[in-house]
Amino acid sequence: DIVMTQSPDSLAVSLGERATITCKSSQAILHNSKNKNCLAWYQQKPGQPPKLLISWASTRESGVPDRFSGSGSGTDFTLTINSLQAEDMAVYYCQQHYTIPLTFGQGTRLEIE
């Protein structure tokens, strides 16, 4: 199974500042025919299901604010949230969508400082 490891486990950032979360996969997750990395990011707020923010490492879902961006390649990926808003407080998960079993990172709790 591909192991996904996020860091940090928790993060406190001031409103208006930038938050950066990293995710490392235990092996490459490049979709050969699409030449895209199979890495997704989800946001989960308390009492709610996760919400897909980004797929293919950097493709934002429709309706996701452009302050959310994804980057990375190979085995190292990053979720960046610019100009942090109060509503961004949540747990963020990465997931590889390259192969079964689909696997998630352990989550990063983002708090407002």
Partner 1 sequence: EVQLVESGGGLVQPGGSLRLSCAASGFTFSTYWMHWVRQSPGEGLVWVSRVSPDGSDTTYADSVKGRFTISRDNTENTLYLQMNSLIAEDTAVYFCTRDMWGTSDYWGQGALVSVS
Report if residue 75 touches partner 1, rule: CB under 8 A: no
SS3 annotation, 11-77? EEECCCCCEEEEEEECCCCEECCCCEECEEEEEECCCCCCEEEEECCCEECCCCCCCEEEEEECCEE
Helix (H, G, I), strand (E, B) or coil at 84: coil
Distance CA 45, CA 111 (A): 11
Report if residue 72 touches partner 1, rule: CB under 8 A: no
| Stretch of 19-27, 65-73, 75-83, 99-107 lying at the interface with partner 1 (CB under 8 A) | 99-107
Kindly give, in sequence order, each residue whose CB lies less than 8 Å from that of residue 67, ignoring residues fewer than 6 positions away.
81, 82, 83, 84, 85
Residue window 1-40: x/- pattern of binding to partner 1, with contact defined by CB under 8 A: -------------------------------------x-x
The residue to which tokens 């950066």 are assigned: 20
Q: Which of 46, 49, 86, 113 forms a contact with partner 1 (CB under 8 A)?
A: 49
Report if residue 104 touches partner 1, rule: CB under 8 A: yes
Q: Which is nearer to partner 1, 75 or 95 (CB)?
A: 95
If binding means CB under 8 A, how many residues of this protein chain bind partner 1? 23
Q: In the complex, which residues of this chain contact partner 1 (CB under 8 A)?
A: 38, 40, 42, 48-52, 55-56, 61, 93, 95, 97-98, 100-107
